[in-house]
Each structure stands twice: as C-alpha cells, then as structure tokens.
Structure 1
Amino acid sequence: MISIKNLNKFYGSSKVLNDISIDIKAGEIFAIVGHSGAGKSTLLRCMNGLEEYSSGSLKVNSKEIKELGKEQLRSFRKNIGMIFQHFSLIQRKNVYENVALPMQLWGYSKDEIDKKVKELLSLVGLKSKLNSYPNQLSGGQKQRVAIARALTLEPQVLLSDEATSALDPNTTTSILNLLKKINKKLNITIVLVTHEMDVVKQIAQKALLLEHGNIIGFDNTEDLFLKPDEKMKEFLGEVEVVPKKGVNIKLYFPKKNAHKSFITTMARELDMDFNIVWGKLEEVNSHIIGNMVINVKDEEEQSVIEYIKKHDIVWEVL
C-alpha cells in the first residue's frame, strides 16, 4: 500500500527526515510516534504530496508521489483522506455542509451527496446533528464531523495528524474506537501521527518511532512495548530501579501467556523463594502483555536461567 525507501527531506541545509524506509500494508493501522520536532508530521504530509521530499522513494499503490503532475496529484489526493488536531471545520457551514463540501468540489450530484453525507453521519454517530454548526458541538463531535468529511470521497488511506491531541482522555478513547470501527468496516488504511503513547497502545498494529528525523524504533506495537530497547525506554521515560544485591532478572510475557502463573510454578518446582521487585500488565492493541523483575540469590542464578530457557519466556539479566 505505502512503500517508503531511503527517504530524505531537507529544509534548506537542515535535514528533517533521514533515510526513512518503511512499508505500510493495506488495511493496517500504523502509528508514527515522536516528540515535537521529530519529523513525524512532515513524513505524513509527504504521503499525500503536501510536502516534497528531497530524495528517495515514496509510493502509494505503486505511484511515486514526486513523479505526479498537478492534475495527477489532485486525482491522487482524492484517495487520501486527512484529519487534523484542530478539526479545520468551516464555522459558517453546518455539519451537513461541512461533510458535503469535498463531494460538491468534485461535482457529485445532490442525490449522491445527500445519500453519502447521511450514511457517514450515521456511521460517526452524529445523524441528529446535521443542522448544527461547529460552535454548537463538543471537541469530540467536531472531530467526528472531520472524520466523516475525510471519508466522503471513499479514500483508501486515512491520515490523522495529532487528531486526538486536543481531546480529553474519554473523548480520545471514543474517537480511537471510531477509527478502529472504520478500519474494520471499510478496510481503510489508517496512518496516524501522535506523541501520545497511550494512543499507540490502544489502536496501532505497527509503530514507527522517530527522533530528530531518524528511525529509532520500528516494529509490531506489542513487541515495541513488550521488550523496549534503550531508545524506547528513554522515550517512555522509564527508569528501572533494582536491588544492588543478588541477580535481577527481567521476564517478558507475550500476549499468549501473559496471564500464566509462571513465577509461582517456577518457585514451586525449583523449591525457591524469589523477591518480586516490580511488575506490570498492560493492554496493547487489545492484547495483554507484561513484564516482571525478580531478584534471586547469586548461587540460584544458573538454576533459574536454565528453567526459564525451557519455557516460552523472553528474559534478560539487568
């Protein structure tokens, strides 16, 4: 669906994207994550031709963006919907008119527009608000209108640029659930830019982590959180405090065995007591994953490691 190879982007002499290579599959929900200035919005805007890239390749459905002429680019953008942080609704138009606007600009008939607008407002849960104006809506309702508008031309890809950043946590969850519903029902590819890791956990199947225009993480979301590398830990602000005495072993539990009582079973079978330093379970993309740090005596280290190796557990000595 989207194939990016060795992509570079300069603003003057400043390099904002450095050798980006990723593939996004059709129907996938993909997150681009990073702090302010990481280059994530620039990368997103390259995907629909709003930004030119300096070198490398960016193809959407096998079409190289930089090779498209003006009319070709206009036609190409018809297949790319986009939603923004601050909704970008026209204040003097009501909900119906805001959603209908893209179809009007492309010359659709009134009957086609009326049918599509009402279908989409029903999909996003705002059928009763078609005559309301933006200043009469909550933030979440405004974003739902923006999502409906982005879907009017039946795009294959939906780009989301910090679309939940201006919303409270409960509203954010409702919008993310709506996006998941749209992804499943319409089989639309969703690429979202965010700096919020909770957003990534809730919705993304795969994530790209950017820092100063460089890729510092790229994997299935569950794997990124299950066993984060040093860059990921730094990004998350995780500081691991462990005892100085004994051996500290960190265990990672993937979704298929996150609920198993591994520690209890190991303690019983080895006839040992372990100190549990800390542990956590969390939901990532509708799956439960977890990790735990145990502290064992020096003389028990080898027995414990040999036992762990016999089971489907990822581990490391801290």
Structure 2
Amino acid sequence: MINIKNLNKYYSNTKVLNNISIDIKKGEIFAIVGHSGAGKSTLLRCINGLEDYADGILLVNNKEIKNLKKDELREFRKNIGMIFQHFSLIQRKTVFENISLPMQLWGYKKEEISKKVNDLLALVGLEEKKDAYPSQLSGGQKQRVAIARALTLDPEILLCDEATSALDPNTTTSILNLLKEINEKLNITIVIVTHEMEVVKQIAQKALLLEHGNIIGFDDTEELFLKPDIKMKEFLGETEVVPKTGVNVKLYFPKDNVFQSFITKMARELNMDFNIVWGKLEEINGHIVGNMVINIEDETRDIVIDYIRQHDIVWEVL
C-alpha cells in the first residue's frame, strides 16, 4: 500500500531523511519511532503530500506523490485521515459539528452527514457528547472526536502524529485500544509516529526506528525488542552488565514461549546448575517475548551450547 524506496529530503543544505526504504502493507499498524528531530514527522508529511522530497520513490496505492497535480493531490488526501497530538478541534463548534466538518467541505448531503457522524460517535463511544463543546471534554474524549473526524471520508489510511503524547497512560491505552478496534473492524492501515516505546509495544506490528534521518532499525516489532542490536539498545537506554568470569550466554525466546521451563529442563537433563544473570519479559502487541542471560563455567560451554542448538533456541555469547 505504501512503498518508499531511497527517499531523500533536505531542508536547505541539511539532509533530514537519508535513503529511506520501507514497505507498509494494507491493514498493517506501522510505527515510525524516534527521538525529537529524528525526521519521523517529516516522513509522515511526505506520505500525505504535505512535504516534498528531493529524490527517491514514494508510492501510495501505486501513485507517486511528487507527480500528483493540485486537484489530484486534493483527491488523494481525501483517502488519508490524520490525527495530531493537540487534537486540532474547533472550539466554537460542537462535537457533532467538528466531526461533520470534512463531509460538509466535500459537499455531502445533510442526511448522509447525520448518519455517518452518528455511526462514528457510536464507534468512538461519545454518543452522549454530540452536543458538547471541546472545552467540556477530557483529553481522551477530544482525541476520540479527532479520530472520528479523521474517519468521516472513509479513508484507507490513518496517519497519527504523536496522537497519544498529551495523554496520561490510562487514556493512552484506551486510545490505542480504539485504534486497534478501528484497524480490525474497518481494515484501515494505521501509521503511528511516536517517541514512546510503550505505544509501539502495545499496538504496532512493524516498526521503523529513525535517528537523525537515518534508519537504525526496521523489523517486526517483536523481533526488534526480542533481539535488539547495538543501536536499538542505545535507543532504549539499555546496558548489559554481566560477570567477567565464565561464559555469558544470552537466550532469546519468541512470543509466548515460557523461558523458565526451558532453563529448568536444561538444568535437569544436563544435571547442571546455571547462574541466571538477568531475564526480561515484554508484552509486545499482545504477545509475551523475552530474553535471559545465563552464566556457565568455561568447561561446560560446548555441552550447553550443543543442547541449546538442538532445541532451536536463538542465542549468542556476550
């Protein structure tokens, strides 16, 4: 659905996106992650045609964005919904009027608007707030209004630019659950820009990590967290402290694989004791993944690694 290849973007002489190549499939929830200044919002704005780019390919539904004329670009944007960190609601308009605005601008009939808005109010759980004004809503309710407004024209793609950054953790979870529901019910492709790794863990199927406009990670979300490379560890702020003696073996366990049972089984069958240095479980997109570091004696290295290989466990010596 979204195909980007060798994309480069400059602000004056400064390169802000460097050789970006990714594919986003239809119906996928995709995260673009990075610290402030990484280029993630710029990339998002390239996808919806609000920013141009120097060279490379950016196809959305097989349409090259930079080749679209003014009228074509307007029609193209009709198919893309957008939500923002600060909601961008019109304060003097009611919830119903805010949601209906895109349909009014496109000339829909009053009956069509009323049915669509009421359906969307039910979807986002705000039927009783249709006549309220933004000042009477909580942050989470405002974002639900913004989401409903972004869906009025039946887009195939929903772009979310730091959509949960202004919300507390509980409200963030409720908004992410709503986005999941929308993704499943309407089969809308969702692209989320965020600096919050917890958001990525809760919702994204794939993630792109950006640093100063460069890709430093791109994979299924579970793989990124299951076996982070050096750049990913730096991004997460993780350090691995391990014993200086013996052999430190790191084991990686894919989703829903209970690693404690493997360690217990290995110790029993090899008749050995292992020092567990540390272990970590993460819930990623509804699945449990984890890794663990064990410390073994030098003379047992070959026996233990042989056993691990036989059980198809991903591992490395630190």
Measured after TM superposition, the shift of residue 260 of structure 1 is 5.8
Displacement of 1:312 after TM fit? 2.1
Alpha-carbon distance between aligned partners in 2 of 1:313 and 1:180, rounded to the nearest angstrom = 31
The residue number in structure 1 matching 2:110 is 110
Q: Confirm or deny that 1:184 pairs with 2:204.
A: no
* Cα distance in 1 between the residues matched to 2:104 and 2:214: 40
Cα contact 2:257–2:288 (8 A) shared by 1: no
1:20 and 2:50 equivalent? Answer: no
Q: What is the TM-score normalised by the length of structure 1?
A: 0.99
8 Å Cα contact 2:20/2:215 also seen in 1 = yes
| SS, match of residue 190 in structure 2 | strand
- Superposed CA offset, 1:257-283 (max 9, x none): 235600000000100000001101110
| SS state at 2:135 partner | helix
2:90: which partner in 1? 90
**Partner Cα separation in structure 2 for residue 126 and residue 260 of structure 1:** 44
- Where does residue 64 of structure 1 map in the other structure? 64
- 2-side partners of 1:136 and 1:316: how far apart? 55
CA contact (8 A) 2:3 2:58 kept: yes
Report the counterpart of residue 172 of structure 1 in structure 2: 172
The unaligned stretches of length 5 or more in structure 2 are: none
- Counterpart residue number, 1:258: 258
Where in structure 2 are the equivalents of 1:82-161 lying within 5 Å? 82-161=82-161
Query: C-alpha distance in 2, partners of 1:27/1:53?
Result: 26
How many residues are treated as equivalent by the alignment?
318
2:10 and 2:86 mapped to 1: Cα distance?
26
The amino acid across from 2:55 in the alignment is S
Partner SS for 1:108 = coil
Letter in 1 for 2:10: F
Give, as a single letter, the amino acid of the residue that structure 1 aligns with 2:125.
Answer: G
User: CA-to-partner distance for each residue in 1:16-72, whole Å, 9 max, x for gaps?
Assistant: 000000000000000000000000000000000000111111010000000000000
How far, CA to CA, are the matches of 1:126 and 1:256 in structure 2? 36
Amino acid at match of 2:171: T
Distance 1:220 1:228 in 2: 12
Q: CA deviation at 1:121?
A: 0.6
> What secondary structure does 1:71 align onto?
helix
SS in structure 1 of the partner of residue 35 of structure 2: coil
Unaligned runs of 5+ in 1: none
Q: Distance in 2 between matches of 1:312 and 1:190?
A: 34
Q: Which amino acid aligns with 1:187?
A: N
**What SS class does the counterpart of residue 66 from structure 2 fall into?**
helix
Distance 2:88 2:191 in 1: 18
Provide Cα deviations, 1:204-246, integer angstroms capped at 9, x if missing partner.
0000000000001000000000000000000000000111111
One-letter code of the match for 1:106?
Answer: W
User: What is the aligned partner in structure 2 of residue 204 from structure 1?
Assistant: 204
Equivalent residue of 1:88, what SS? coil
Q: CA–CA distance in 2 between the matches of 1:111 and 1:204? A: 36
**In structure 2, C-alpha distance between the alignment counterparts of 1:70 and 1:124, rounded to whole Å:** 33
Three-state SS of the structure 2 residue aligned to 1:46 is helix
Structure 1 residues 154-199: Cα deviation after superposition (integer angstroms, max 9, x where no partner): 0000000000000000000000000000000000000000000000
User: What one-letter code is carried by the residue in structure 1 that aligns with 2:80?
Assistant: I
Paired with 2:231 and 2:7, the residues of 1 have a C-alpha distance of 22
For the residues of structure 2 that align with 1:20 and 1:223, how far apart are their CA atoms? 20
CA–CA distance in structure 2, aligned partners of residues 5 and 191 of structure 1:
17
In the other structure, the counterpart of 1:2 is 2
1:225 aligns with 2:221: no
CA distance in 2 between counterparts of 1:312 and 1:85 reads: 43
Letter of the 1:150 partner, please give it. A
CA RMSD of superposed structures (Å): 0.7
TM-score normalised by L of structure 2: 0.99
| Residue aligned with 2:272, SS | coil
The amino acid that maps onto 2:127 is K
Mapped to 2, the partners of 1:103 and 1:16 lie a distance apart of: 35
Q: Counterparts of 1:169-318 in structure 2 under 5 Å?
A: 169-258=169-258, 261-318=261-318
